[in-house]
Amino acid sequence: MPELPEVETVRDGLARWVAGRTVARVEVTHARAVRRHLAGAQDLAARLTGATLASAERRGKYLWLPLAGRAEALVAHLGMSGQLLVQPPESADEKHLHVRIGFTDGGRELRFVDQRTFGGVLLDVLAPTVDHPEQQVPAQIVHIARDPVDPLFDEAEFSRRLRRRDSAIKRALLDQSLVSGIGNIYADESLWRARLHGERPARGLTRRQVEDLLGHVRDVLGAALRAGGTSFDALYVNVNGQSGYFDRSLSAYGREGEPCPRCGTAIARNSFMNRSSFFCPSCQRPPRRAALSSPRRAALSP
DNA sequence: TATTTAACCTGGACGC
DNA sequence: TGCGTCCAGGTTAAAT
């Protein structure tokens, strides 16, 4: 599933293959892929045709390609299975090809392919960021927090906000308005490295624990980025259709029943937030019931 | 206001 | 072989 390392790998590919090129035509073959462009597919195509894609930017799991000389950008989110592929025009259409963008140079096309259709593209105006108004991001994502590898990420502010939360740590890590780029896989991996159970209340964490957790988040994201991201199947690939290799380095996620690399206890799995959570029952002690937030306590009561 | 839940969606895996 | 069910999870509107 595309989280920060996967999206950054795609962004890097777009910067190499697409930036500086001028759009000649846009074809939308699946309306759901542009559902967040409220003016519709025709409007998206009309406004994008003739525009030059200046660069490739990212915040968290969102990508955008600013249009040269205009305060607008082509925004993309990969959802769970979205792919942005750079393909020769003559190559066969992918089964789930939803948007095709051709360029005036006649070279490789940019294709948005998405099996589960949770992702999409849209054209959006740029707006100043809250913390650094001299910087601009697409208006629809101004609520998305900076990610932990952003040089302007404010650790002190993150710690303060996290430790004020009346919810579980994992839920907070997945909240993109608190910290972006982390999904289910890297949340579990980071918590395993920090020896923290995801259901522990965020409010009970010390500053030191938050610093430690953040360090592990950065380590995991960095290692995954160097491996080209995590791929369990063909759903995540870079712009050239290649998979990443970080799944071979995962310690907890997807390893139910396998020995914990640290203590040998079998990795456990439970359901949390309608998702699977993987953890070591020995290294990551579950919180005492009294420490759980009230709704969670009520949910666990017989 | 803060937090939690449910819905969206498709195809692979699995059991019968 | 074919059918039905479950599962994967990022985002956000709606509910609590």
Pick from A27-31, A44-48, A56-60, A296-300: least confident: A296-300
In angstroms, the CA of A29 and the C1' of B10 are apart by 17
- The catalytic position among A16, A275, A289, A297 is A275
In angstroms, the CA of A6 and the C1' of C10 are apart by 14
A135-166 pLDDT, tens digit each: 999 998 998 999 999 999 999 999 999 999 99
pLDDT band at A274 (very low <50, low <70, confident <90, very high): confident
In angstroms, the CA of A34 and the C1' of B7 are apart by 19
- Give yes or no for a contact between A163 and A178, defined as CB atoms under 8 angstroms apart: no
- Give yes or no for a contact between A219 and A193, defined as CB atoms under 8 angstroms apart: yes
Is residue A275 flagged as an active site residue?
A: yes
Instruction: Please classify residue A248 by burial: count the beta carbons closer than 10 Å to its beta carbon, then call 0-12 exposed, 13-18 middle and 19+ buried.
Output: exposed
A193-222 pLDDT, tens digit each: 999 999 999 998 999 999 999 999 999 999
Is residue A255 flagged as an active site residue?
A: no
pLDDT band at A233 (very low <50, low <70, confident <90, very high): low
- Other CB atoms within a 10 A radius of the CB of residue A1 amount to 20
Is residue A208 flagged as an active site residue?
A: no
User: Residue A174: what residue type?
Assistant: L
Tell me the C-alpha distance between A191 and A198, whole Å.
Answer: 7
